[in-house]
Amino acid sequence: MKGHIMLIGRPSDITASEITPATVFRKRRALIKAAGLGTMMAWSGLSLGEEPKTKIQDYSKSSYGQEEKLTSYRDITTYNNFYEFGTGKEQPAENVGQFKTTPWTVSIEGEVLKPRKLGIEELMKLAPLEERIYRMRCVEGWSMVIPWVGIPLSSLVKLAQPTGNAKFVELISAADPATMPGVRAPILDWPYVEALRLDEAMHSLTILAVGLYGEILPAQNGAPVRLVVPWKYGFKGGKSIVRIRFVEKMPQTTWMRAAPREYGFYANVNPTVDHPRWSQASERRIGGNVFSRRTPTLMFNGYADQVAQLYAGMDLRKHF
């Protein structure tokens, strides 16, 4: 068995928000100092530890999640799981420097009438860009509230025109050893693969995200395009997607291959199905302090009204 954080012991309960950014900024400051870049950055109007941002021009707000308190931009972009850039929570933000997200094409393949390569600019025009504020829950027991900007995955499925044989959609992430240091190590079986049943892919909550907080997605969050499925554990949301393949048989996903007893195909957030090594009954919202209480985890991450019917008649203990 391969060694990686999700497989080793219980996830630590250290509060990320206070500790992580400070550590990142300290390291980055040291790097910038070493490279003599301090004056250059001051010159360009950026302060230390701040990345340039690019506003998304045309997107509309939506009513999704308006009542939620948003996790800060800093927490969302410095506390990440993106093992292609290392297994530490701060490593993705630190290690994405060489990773190029333009130009970018997504290849649509398999059981479709219209296989094709789609440039990221074309993909962003498949449907009106919309902000969706979603609760996100990691299998490790922490959660965030993230204002994504994206399009429904269904708009891409409609463009592809799946044949009658297509039952699942496989989403394959980039795996470039030259620019993704984690890919040079046997952390997982690269490339990272996730998949959905076709009806899950068509559900209106399922989006391809290209931005957050109205800005183009930062690399550490899966630029230029990543999957977001808010009723499932975070690992279903593959980042930096390069191929979308329509298939007849249920794909073996990366985490199923890594640890089939621990990570099932469905990965629906379910407080009554514990991870074999820890409880899933509660969660810790990132951005609190050490005294913040864990809150009860909700079935389907609180989206049961909208998605429970997808699993009618299924034994969700067996199909975890």
Ligand X SMILES: Nc1nc2c(c(=O)[nH]1)N[C@H]1C(S)=C(S)[C@@H](COP(=O)(O)O)O[C@H]1N2
Residues numbered 181 to 210 that lie near ligand X (CB under 6 A) are 192
Q: Of the candidates 112, 133, 138, 172, which one interacts with Mo ion according to CB under 5 A?
A: 138
| Of 250, 207, 194, nearest in space to 81 by CA | 194
CB of 238 vs Mo ion, minimal distance in Å: 12
First to last CA, the chain: 21
| Minimal distance, residue 81 CB to ligand X, in Å | 4
Give yes or no for residue 86 binding Mo ion (CB under 5 A).
no
Instruction: Out of 25, 82, 104, 263, point to the residue binding ligand X (CB under 6 A).
Output: 82
Q: Are strands 282-285 and 130-137 parallel, antiparallel or unpaired?
A: unpaired
- Is the Cβ–Cβ distance between 313 and 320 less than 8 Å? no
Binding to Mo ion by residue 136, rule CB under 5 A? no
Residues 212-221, buried b or exposed e (16+ Cβ, 10 A)? bbbbbbbbbb
Stretch of 21-29, 75-83, 200-208, 267-275 contacting ligand X, by CB under 6 A: 75-83
C-beta separation of 68 from 137 below 8 A: no
Report the nearest approach of ligand X to the CB of residue 241 (Å): 8
Which does residue 300 bind out of ligand X, Mo ion, none, counting CB within 5 to 8 angstroms by kind? none
List, in sequence order, every residue forming a beta bridge with 282; answer none if it has no partner. Answer: 296
Tell me how far CA of residue 225 lies from CA of 12, 120, 149, 247, in angstroms: 29, 8, 10, 21
238 binds, among ligand X, Mo ion, none (CB under 5 to 8 A by kind): ligand X
The DSSP code for 284 is E
Residue closer to Mo ion by CB (options 49, 230) is: 230
Q: Kindly state whether residue 303 participates in binding Mo ion, applying the rule CB under 5 A.
A: no
| Smallest gap from residue 213 Cβ to ligand X (A) | 12
Residue nearer to ligand X on the CB measure, 129 or 172: 172
Instruction: Tell which one of 17, 81, 95, 270 touches ligand X (CB under 6 A).
Output: 81
Query: Whole-number minimum distance, CB 137 to Mo ion, in Å?
Result: 8
Q: How far apart are CA 162 and CA 159, in angstroms?
A: 9
Residue 160 in 3-state DSSP? helix
The neighbour count for residue 18, using CB atoms within 10 Å, is 13
d(CA 279, CA 256): 19
Answer for which of 234, 251, 264, 302 binds Mo ion (CB under 5 A) is 234
Least Å from the CB of residue 34 to ligand X:
27
Give the interface with ligand X as residue ranges (CB under 6 A): 80-84, 138, 173, 192, 221-222, 234-235, 237-239
Footprint on this chain of Mo ion (rule: CB under 5 A)? 81, 138-139, 234-235
